[in-house]
A and B are shown apart, each in its own frame.
Chain A
């Protein structure tokens, strides 16, 4: 079930173990391998509404394991353009493919410069002691 630990290059990382993949003025968000490993098997993903405003460092969604619920924090601010509806049926994608099929939302960025305060892969790995 579990996949090998990985932190791809080219993503930006937030200290709450979220990643952002920035593409122009939009970005895709998800949680890192470390975050899903801490959670254990995800059994429910509660997404925000399309059109909702998310702000950097604030919770925008919830993920639940059988045992507990956790907030998911936005690495950057903006408006939700799209939600990964597939996670309703297969929340385990968050565990099995955290940077691919486990993506959570796509956002139109309101403050693209927030990217500057996020970590690159080396800084994030260092923060994990990897």
Chain B
């Protein structure tokens, strides 16, 4: 996927106001199946896998024993004993190794399914209207997955996304991907690139692995305690139990000019207190926005901070998430 097709702002606005389509085929997939699949996934991922409805979807993190985050994942239930987990491209191999390494003692088959699927994300207020013209049968509700033919190709259609807009992610056999792409872009969905994907997700404060999440950070300080069900005894739960983090990932917005970038120091009352993990110019808010780790005592919305952008101190304020909310 290129960084941009027409221009990041143009593509961003298209997704917020109409519909855009992203080629996210770089994402990886791991299939787990067998009588022990549910119990096995319950041990690996942080959320309560038993709560995934038939044809349901769930967000979770994959942790090391010490609670460090290996990846953030979406898991879809394809059958009572069959799951598909979507991984970040840069972590896929490590994730698959981790999955395979922890399969002993479970009646489960773990399969690297990355080569089975291309993936397109159709997102925006018009995404479902466009999809409806190309899908046979019903589109899935939010957080649901369904098998359906799209543009005459057998696909897995998932009611999920990474933009804060309604829409779907479509898992497609690679040989059919061009047909689906052509059908969607030919029907008004704007091709959108990695740049817009980043600005869209940051406006709604979705985490990006490698920026906001890493092995050196635990999910509690990253604000992902809500996907960590400690009583499921997943790998890492012991380390997270009773943990009182000293830092927290917060969204912030500049109150004046400038654009924060990953790695910029964050100052509280003039002293270095943290670091920007993601930053950009918000195309919708037209101000610099970002996320970064700060001491918990400075993490309340409204806290004044400064960001050192290449030597210039830019005033900013900790905000509520999401930074951008659609007007209703």
Contact = CB atoms under 8 A, between A and B. Distances in A.
Interface in A26-55: 40-41, 43-44, 46
B195 A67 contact: yes
Contacts of B3: 67
Q: How large is the interface on B (under 10, 10 to 19, 20 to 34, 35 or more residues)?
A: 10 to 19
Given A40-B4, A43-B281, A44-B281, A66 B9 contact: yes
Contacts of B7: 1, 40-41
B270 to A, nearest CB: 22
Contact of A44 (B4, B8, B257, B283): B257
Interface in B275-298: 280-281, 283
Interface in B1-24: 3-4, 7-10, 12
B281 A64 contact: yes
B195 A66 contact: yes
A43 B257 contact: no
B258 A43 contact: no
Contacts of B10: 1
B328 interface: no
A93 interface: no
B168 to A, nearest CB: 25
A67 to B, nearest CB: 5
Interface of A: 1, 40-41, 43-44, 46, 62, 64-67, 69, 88
Interface of B: 3-4, 7-10, 12, 195, 198-199, 257-259, 261, 280-281, 283, 310, 312
25 contacts: A1-B7, A40-B7, A40-B8, A41-B8, A43-B9, A43-B259, A43-B281, A44-B258, A44-B259, A44-B281, A46-B258, A62-B310, A64-B259, A64-B281, A65-B8, A66-B8, A66-B9, A66-B12, A66-B195, A66-B281, A67-B195, A67-B198, A69-B259, A69-B310, A88-B257
